[in-house]
Homo-oligomer: A and B are copies of this chain.
Amino acid sequence: MNIKDIEKLLTDVKSGHTSVDDALSTLKDFPYTDLGFAKIDHHREVRTGYPEIVYCTGKTIEQVKEIFRVMVIRENNIIGTRASREMFDAVKEIIPDAVFHQAARIISVQRKKQEAPVTRIAVITAGTSDMPVAEEAAVTAELLGNEVLRIYDAGVAGIHRLVDKLPDIRTCRVVVVIAGMEGALASVVGGLVDKPVIAVPTSVGYGANFGGVSALLAMLTSCSSGVTVVNIDNGFGAGFSASMINKMK
């Protein structure tokens, strides 16, 4: 609902194409559905390029189901992150074509094919244990219409595994680097490629890892330029941002 929309509305009111009441109602009725416990934001796609994403953790199974029930009426595609299998089972009862991406903990409904950019997104992990976060990033990016190159377990303890994949990585438009422990992989990749690097610290590790804080701080203080960071374990956020960049024209 930007300044242009308001101008159009005012013109319509003046010309009599729209009554004051209708105009007011339009302005008042920003497009969302109020379920009491949730306000489904149908306007999100227009505003930020994709329908509202449902963050499932902390919601009851019934709430998740109800949100999907309402969204499926107006949105073509739905993504629910951090979902449990129980949530999926409940959603599937009412939306049989819903899909559960187990490793990524994502429920998706996909009825409109996203436009696919020709470029790819690289998703690289330091270790095998970083895979759940990586899958959240990769599946998110794929559901948003991107092709993803997965490179898992290429941490700096055996850096030749990364170097070996550099030519492939350099064909991608944006790189997501996912690492726990000391998170050094983000700096190393950032020093080797000329693409935006989105770094995702993970909670993989123990002791002075502090649930991912060590990797987070390391990524934030990276000596390599071109590295930006998202929250610990936030595969979704990295996948979403990478998609935004990859789909740029």
Q: Which residues of A contact B (CB under 8 A)?
A: 1-4, 6-7, 10-11, 13-14, 16, 20, 23-24, 27-30, 32, 34-39, 41, 43-44, 47-50, 52-53, 55, 57-59, 63, 67, 82, 126-129, 131, 150, 152-161, 163-164, 166-167, 170, 173, 181-184, 186-188, 190-196, 198, 201, 203-234, 236-238, 240-241, 244-245, 248
Contacts and interface: CB of A to CB of B under 8 A. Distances in A.
Contact of A48 (B35, B43, B152, B191): B191
Contacts of A36: 150, 152
B229 A47 contact: no
Given A196-B241, A221-B181, A128 B14 contact: no
B234 A207 contact: yes
B159 A57 contact: no
Contact of A159 (B167, B182, B192, B198): B192
Report the copy number of this chain in the oligomer: 8
A158 B44 contact: yes
Contacts of A152: 36-39
A41 B192 CA distance: 12
Which residue, of A164, A182, A238, has the highest number of chain B Cβ atoms within 10 A? Answer: A182
Nearest to A163: B30
10 contacts: A2-B170, A48-B194, A58-B127, A159-B192, A206-B233, A207-B233, A208-B232, A215-B221, A227-B237, A229-B230
A173 B241 contact: no
Contacts of A37: 128, 131, 152-153
